[in-house]
Amino acid sequence: MSPTQILEIEDIEKHFGGLAALDGVNAHVESGKLTAIIGANGAGKTTLFNVITGILPPSAGRVKFLGQDITNKPVHEISKLGLARTLQIKSVFNGMTVRENLWIAAQSRDGVFKPFQRASASSRANQVADQLCEELGLTQFANQEAANLSYGDIALLEIGIALATEPKLLLLDEPICGMGPAETEQTVEKIRNLAKRIDIVIIEHDIEVVFEVSDEVIVMAQGKVLARGTPAEISTNAEVRTAYLGDDDDA
């Protein structure tokens, strides 16, 4: 265990009735590296995030975060330890401004949302909201309703909401899904910048983005880890090419 393993996943199983969505997953995330999870639809990627973050209890196995066993801990406790995620389906408060969305997320970090507490007590949340607007390039939209944002900026706001809890590890579920090339490029750049100060695991289908952005790639297939390695190792792995990348030069 030489590089710090911020997340350890040991023999995780998750069954839905007769379906083994996760069928003995062993994986780890090293601090300081941007880790990508790839795999076909239904491979179990989102389910793995759900188990890690406490949304779903695993049928078997353990999850450790910063060396601490977090298996079966409630979502808010795991969040408090410094683990945050975004959802595959975008979810922000549409009727609120960008700033309000971030402010509420920052306020709720301590578990209880206190909308009527004294203004001075919420100055930390104000600061966090402003910093996140700045970092994510959303300052110009700070006072606009989230409903009016472009798709790419909604994705950034979602990342901001997750960051407002000041996590140590951030899990992103297909953050660029549905974006055009320009938006993709901008968002990828921001994710890269974020990865300098926070550990990130990204689920992503776009293999070019994955190879560009990540240091480590975990390939999942049918509820298992098929392979793990650097982008260079994964792109030349024969098993991965056959099972996932579709080794067909004529396509």
What is the side-by-side order of every strand in the sheet holding 68-69? 19-30, 5-16, 60-65, 68-69
Site for ligand ATP in 70-89 (CB under 6 A): 88
Q: Which is nearer to Mg ion, 199 or 204 (CB)?
A: 204
Q: Considering beta carbons, is residue 46 or 97 the nearer one to Mg ion?
A: 46
Which residues in the 41-70 window bind ligand ATP by CB under 6 A?
Answer: 41-47
Q: How many residues touch ligand ATP (CB under 6 A)?
A: 12
Instruction: Please state the closest distance from residue 56 (CB atom) to ligand ATP, in A.
Output: 7
Binding flags for ligand ATP, 128-147, as an x/- string (CB under 6 A): --------------------
CB 88 to ligand ATP: min, Å:
6
Dihedral sign, CA of 243, 222, 208, 229? negative
Residue 39, contacted partner among Mg ion, ligand ATP, none, CB below 5-8 A by kind:
ligand ATP
8 A C-beta contact, residue 5 and residue 29: yes
Q: How far is CA 197 from CA 31, 161, 163, 192, in A?
A: 10, 16, 11, 10
Find out whether 128 and 164 touch, Cβ atoms under 8 Å.
yes
Is 46 among the residues that bind Mg ion (CB under 5 A)? yes
Greatest C-alpha distance within the chain = 65
**Cβ contact 205:24 at 8 Å:** no
Nearer to ligand ATP, 42 or 82 (CB): 42
Tokens at 249, concatenated: 């030069």
**Least distance to ligand ATP, CB of residue 184, Å:** 17
Question: Is the Cβ of residue 153 or residue 173 nearer to ligand ATP in the bound state?
Answer: 173
Q: Tell me: does residue 86 bind Mg ion (CB under 5 A).
A: no
Measured in Å, how far apart are the chain's first and last C-alpha atoms? 41
The residues, ordered by sequence, that sit 6+ positions from 24 with a Cβ below 8 Å of its Cβ are 11, 12, 13, 61, 223, 224
Chain residues binding ligand ATP by CB under 6 A are: 16, 19, 21, 39, 41-47, 88
Chain residues binding Mg ion by CB under 5 A are: 45-46, 88
